[in-house]
Structure 1
Amino acid sequence: MAAPWSRFHLRLHRLLLRRPQLLPQHATLLLAVSGGQDSMALVGLLRDLQRLHHWRLLLWHGDHGWRPESAQQASALADWAAKEGLPLERQRWDTPQPDEASARQWRLACLQHRAALAGASRVVTGHTASDRAETLLLNLARGSHRRGLASLRPLRPLGDAVQLARPLLVFSRGETAEIQRQLQLPVWSDPSNDNPRFSRNRIRAEVLPVLEALHPGAGRRLSGLSSRLADEQDSQEQLEQMALQSLLSDPNDPRAGLRRRALMALEPGNRRRLLHAWLQHQGNAELAAAPLERLLEGLEPERGPGALQLPGGSALHWDRERLQASSGGGKQGLASSP
């Protein structure tokens, strides 16, 4: 019997043809399956597309132990997967914590370990465009940097040889519900998704519905904005790399110092951006705005040599021509000669 085919299958199939690195053909994929609507839609779509992309599909379910019925639901999910011929591994959290951040860290650590053991190059989650819109709003309210507003990327590193893939970002939560109904997939609901003590649930239940009522399609547009911000950030980082090459005292040595005069000849905003990028490439901790400004003041052409101790024990030092980083030592604070 041929696998079902719908406009949702076609949309995902075309995405994977355009972006083959998202879920490479013949790859081993480890699917994170909660049993909820989004993750079951993920399983259904990839199961049906498997014949075209020749994946090896493995399923993983994490039981947080937050609810008395969670073990029973995990068993029911395992029984369904066995009937579908899909291998599923279950893990229960031995020391459950009641917060989202700890649960997420536990899941990712388990998934990374399991992927390495199974030889899976991709850990795949069922995050949707609706999740990305919620994340954008949460990070915006927290005063996040641009990087936070561009979170939930389709593909990001999870370990040395494993990447986290989110192929369902092209679907809304309403569409995954339709996929689940069309494919007649079972769903095991989690009451914690309605608990208002979790900030994401309040965004989902109270904020986004208001925005959708005021401006229909708001969630889709917010997700699109996050995607564009991610593309702009990637583009900016590429341009930063090119600009940094021109500032290195030795372009063939990635750890070479910066040409001080060339750096300080740039516009103030570009000085900050490139100095920040260079420090990150040196493996140094990110400087806050105030010490970064003090460093730039010390690098002004009329100032002499100086040094700055960085968090973690490394240090910066400069003469009139060059700014360099060292792995240890240096003066406390900022010192500069006239």
Structure 2
Amino acid sequence: MKSSSELAGSHLVFQSVAAQAEAVHCGESVAIAFSGGLDSTVLLHAAVLVLGARRCVGLHVHHGLNACANAWRSHCIDIASQLDIVFDCRAVKIADMPQQSIEALARDARYTALRQMCKAHRIRTLWLGHHADDQAETVLLQLLRGSGLPGLAAMPLKRLLHDGLVYVRPLLSVSQTSLEAYARQHELCWINDASNTDIRHMRNALRKHVMPKLAIYFPGYRDTLARTARHAATAQRLLQDFSINDLGACIYVSQPTATVKRFDASFPISQILSRRALLELSDERAINLLRFWMRKSGLATASSARIKEILRQLRDASNSTTLRIAYSKQYLCLYRDRIWWESQDDQIFIRKIIPLSTEFQWSGQSVWHLPVWQGSIVFVLSNINDERGVQCSVLESVPLTVRARLGGERMRLRVGGPLRTLKNLFQEAAIPTWQRHLPLLFTGDKLLWVPKLGIDPNVAGRGQVRIEWRPDIPLI
């Protein structure tokens, strides 16, 4: 005979899973992250009852960090076979990286593997077994770490990824006690991971020593902390709306009269910001905007101290100051009124000085790869009288060579115009000094073309060949 508490707990689990099942398109399969522990075992079993075995796919990640990992995989295979569902497993290797916890590395590897398996099975919805106790622990941990609103918002019920995959946590409002009641009622078997009791990990210490005390004096602490997470998530969404509007107002435009209506947050952040517009904001709004911009640029969240220091440097810089602030394998660059991000990997001239005597001769190829400059000069056929083209006779009359910039080189950018130094032309084009180490293309002793500036029409004449510069695409 089942107790009333077990029946109530079992009903709560079933009800929560059924509520999320309604959002799944009819006939569409759902993947369940299945570690073999209590929460994922209950979730998988309830999913099969609600959706049917044909629509459930169990996904297991084999980390290899625990001596029992092979036994856990075998257990999960057996459970999947008993439930008659599709099962998939991926093994991951966790590389030892200094200053990063093995738990964080394992989590990242696990989610990467889960996304890969979802893609392989053409699944758009992944169910995760996090429950109310997990959520309460997460909120409390973030509070103790002094996290901001994104941290306090903790784990959302649903999260849409850029590739269209949706993470769903159907058990987020269900306590562990209810999960245990469900498991007992349905006589489920699950894995008990001994590492979950290791109090050297902060979350385990909270679970063992703090949460039981909270339950005595604050019996409803799970609901209270969950409500805190929802309030934080709401406030964070409002801040994001502010950020989107502020970003739209701060996008750099070359014409003062140009207007930017509204930034579309679905596009990757490739915009250049105006320092003037950024500094018109209060410190609080400027910091909020910088955080948003960094997140959308795929950068790790900066600490409060670091982001305040970045803003201070931007405020203290004079109009003629050039800045490059290193952060997370990127440079935050300031030149004149423009602020943008550049990868440190792209800044080859910071680490490598091209010899001044460097010179290469063209052999007639349409794509002339220049590894020392990490890019290629490309010759493209165009209109016969292209104003920005060069005549074939010019390319063939004398040897075409590429040389490193020595300083003092001059060229004209319009017919009959004065000879001007590249330094002045780069300054007018607002090209920062660290981006001026470019290959110069000469026909004989005459400077014909410079990347980012263009061609000298007095040397080129109008012709049917355009010259383009294409930087190498780094392989990651």
Whether TM-score is above 0.5 comes out as: yes
The separation in 2 between residues aligned to 1:138 and 1:294, in whole angstroms, is 30
Structure 1 Cα separation of the partners of residues 295 and 72 of structure 2: 45
**Amino acid aligned to 1:251:** V
Opposite residue 163 of structure 2, the aligned amino acid is: D
- The residue number in structure 2 matching 1:233 is 236
CA shift at 1:158, angstroms? 5.5
Per the alignment, in what secondary structure is the counterpart of residue 310 of structure 1? strand
Aligned residue among 14, 29, 32 for 1:9: 14
Look up the SS of the partner of 1:6 in the other structure: helix
Map 1:117-196; keep pairs closer than 5 Å.
117-156=120-159, 160-196=163-199
Letter in 2 for 1:86: I
SS in 2 for 1:170: coil
Q: Deviations over 1:72-102 (max 9, x none)?
A: 3432332232122112224455669794223
What RMSD, in angstroms, separates the aligned Cα atoms of the two structures?
A: 3.4
Kindly indicate whether the alpha-carbon contact (under 8 Å) linking 2:279 and 2:315 is maintained by their aligned counterparts in 1: no
Aligned partner of 2:132: which letter?
A
Partner of 1:306: 321
Aligned equivalents of 1:112 and 1:251: distance in 2?
Answer: 36
Distance 2:76 2:19 in 1: 29
Check conservation: 1:282, 1:325, Cα contact below 8 A.
Answer: no
Cα distance change of structure 1 residues 191 and 158 upon mapping to structure 2, 3 Å threshold: farther
Q: In the TM superposition, what whole-angstrom CA distance separates every residue of 1:216-255 from its partner, at most 9, and x where no partner exists? A: 1213321321232122212220232123324444416955
Overall identity of the aligned pairs, in %: 25
- Which residue pairs with 2:46 in the alignment? 45
Structure 1, unmatched stretches of 5+, are 333-338
How much has 1:136 moved relative to structure 2? 1.9
When normalised by structure 1's length, the TM-score is: 0.78
- Unmatched tracts of structure 2, length 5 or more: 1-6, 254-258, 264-269, 348-431, 435-476
Candidates 289, 300, 309, aligned match of 1:291? 309
- DSSP 3-state at the match of 1:156: strand
Instruction: Report what 1:72 is aligned to.
Output: 71
Match of 1:270 in 2: 285
Number of aligned residues: 317
Name 2:59's counterpart in structure 1. 60
**Does the 8 Å contact 2:126/2:166 carry over to 1?**
yes
Moved more, 122-131 or 182-191: 182-191
Summarize the Cα distance change of 1:24–1:193 in structure 2 as closer, same or farther, 3 Å threshold: farther
Q: How far does the alpha carbon of each residue in 1:183-204 deviate from its partner, in whole angstroms, 9 at most, with x for none?
A: 3322222222222233221111
Provide the C-alpha distance between the structure 2 equivalents of 1:178 and 1:91, rounded to a whole number of angstroms.
Answer: 31
Residue from 204, 207, 212 that aligns with 2:210: 207
Displacement of 1:130 after TM fit?
Answer: 0.8
Q: Which has the higher strand share?
A: 2
Asked whether the 8 Å contact 1:128–1:170 carries over to 2, the reply is: yes
Q: Which amino acid aligns with 2:316?
A: G
> What letter matches 2:336 in structure 1?
W
CA distance in 2, matches of 1:265, 1:66: 51
Secondary structure of the structure 1 residue equivalent to 2:246 = helix
SS across alignment from 2:172: helix
Q: Give 1:105 shift.
A: 2.6
User: Counterpart in 2 of 1:108?
Assistant: 111
**Change in CA separation of 1:177 and 1:289 when aligned onto 2, cut-off 3 Å:** same
- Letter in structure 2 aligned against 1:308: L
Residue 275 of structure 1 and its aligned partner are, at CA, apart by 4.2
Find the aligned partners of 2:173 and 2:301 in 1 and give their Cα distance: 33
Structure with the higher fraction of residues in helix conformation? 1
**Aligned mates of 1:68, 1:324 — CA distance in 2:** 50
1:318 aligns with 2:336: yes
1:331 and 1:204, CA in 2 relative to 1: closer, same or farther beyond 3 A?
A: farther
Q: Structure 1: which amino acid aligns with 2:47? A: L
Residue 87 of structure 2 aligns with an amino acid whose one-letter code is L
**Partner Cα distance (1:285, 1:71) in 2:** 34
Query: 1:30 is matched with which residue?
Result: 31
Using structure 2 for the length normalisation, give the TM-score.
0.58
Asked if structure 2 preserves the Cα contact closer than 8 Å seen for 1:240 and 1:277, the reply is yes
State the secondary structure of the residue aligned to 1:308: strand
Cα deviation per residue 1:233-285 (whole Å; 9 max; x = unaligned)? 12220232123324444416955555555544443322332344345556677
Contact 1:208–1:219 under 8 Å retained in 2: no
Distance 1:172 1:285, change over 3 A: closer
Q: 2 CA distance for matches of 1:144 and 1:193?
A: 24
Q: Distance in 1 between matches of 2:84 and 2:28?
A: 18
1:164 counterpart SS class:
strand
In 2, are the aligned partners of 1:134 and 1:200 still within 8 Å (CA)? yes
Once the two structures are superposed, what CA deviation does each residue of 1:14-43 show, in whole Å capped at 9, x if it has no partner? 3554xx3xx554433221112221111111
The code of the aligned residue for 1:40 comes to: T
Deviation at residue 107 of structure 1 after TM alignment? 1.8
Q: 1:124 to 1:267 in 2, by over 3 A?
A: same
Q: Higher RCO, 1 or 2 (CA under 8 Å, sep at least 6)?
A: 1
